[in-house]
Amino acid sequence: DAGITQSPRHKVTETGTPVTLRCHQTENHRYMYWYRQDPGHGLRLIHYSYGVKDTDKGEVSDGYSVSRSKTEDFLLTLESATSSQTSVYFCATQTSGYNEQFFGPGTRLTVL
Amino acid sequence: GDSVTQMEGPVTLSEEAFLTINCTYTATGYPSLFWYVQYPGEGLQLLLKATKADDKGSNKGFEATYRKETTSFHLEKGSVQVSDSAVYFCALNTPQGGSEKLVFGKGTKLTVNP
């Protein structure tokens, strides 16, 4: 399994506060992704990265920003958290081509 | 755009029953197809994959065949166990603009009772 860790694993925060979630990988995979998982919606892509400092938006990017200053780290920031951002967030990595993605264990975020 | 449709759940079966979870897709080009499994409280794990038409992916007793003519990739298992209880996601992967993104179905929750 690809070595993917996410931190924190659980977080409770208040509306309007900034939140940063971290994804760290040890496999030197080129591509990294942030998803959110909500009941009835499956997984939805928030942002992804195809290299250091190269990122792009997914289907639900509003209210989120990302940064990737090193191959191994991909940060997801909620500038001002809202209750609609309560979700489980998954990070994933991929080498390239038609390959599978490897997922981290997830972060459960609750915004009160 | 590309999309994946899988059968609505939840699915409840008795141990040793036969399982089929339907998955159909719409895609431009020639996608790779995947089934992922998510056990309670965990992230997604790759269960099996197929990269071209007529390929059969298999793992842990699960099988799925890439059917280009029917744009389908149905998941099957001949005899399910309680430990197979999980959420199953069908997905496809097509390169777009130099990057690769997975498109997921909404997931099918399977519960297997003893």
The residue with tokens 């097509």 is B94
- Top pLDDT among A92 and B1 is at A92
* Spatial contact of B93 and B102, defined as CB atoms under 8 Å apart: yes
Which of the 8 DSSP states describes residue B84?
G
pLDDT tens for each residue of A46-73 = 999 988 999 999 989 999 999 999 999 9
Task: Give the pLDDT means over successive 10-residue stretches in chain B (114 positions).
Answer: 89 97 91 94 94 95 96 97 97 71 91 96
**B52–chain A Cβ distance below 8 A for any pair:** no
| pLDDT mean across residues, chain A | 93
Chain B positions in Cβ-Cβ contact with residue A41 (cut-off 8 Å):
106
Q: Does B42 touch chain A (CB under 8 A)?
A: yes
Amino acid A7: pLDDT: 97
| Contact flag A103-B45 (C-beta cutoff 8 Å) | yes
Q: Which two three-digit tokens encode residue A11?
A: 């977080």
Instruction: Give φ, ψ of B43 to 5 degrees.
Output: -80, 180
Q: Between A and B, how many CB-CB pairs are < 8 A?
A: 57
- Confirm or reject contact between A57 and chain B (CB < 8 A): no
Among candidate residues A97, A92, A64, the one with its CA nearest the CA of residue B99: A97
What is residue B101's predicted lDDT score, i.e. its pLDDT? Answer: 81
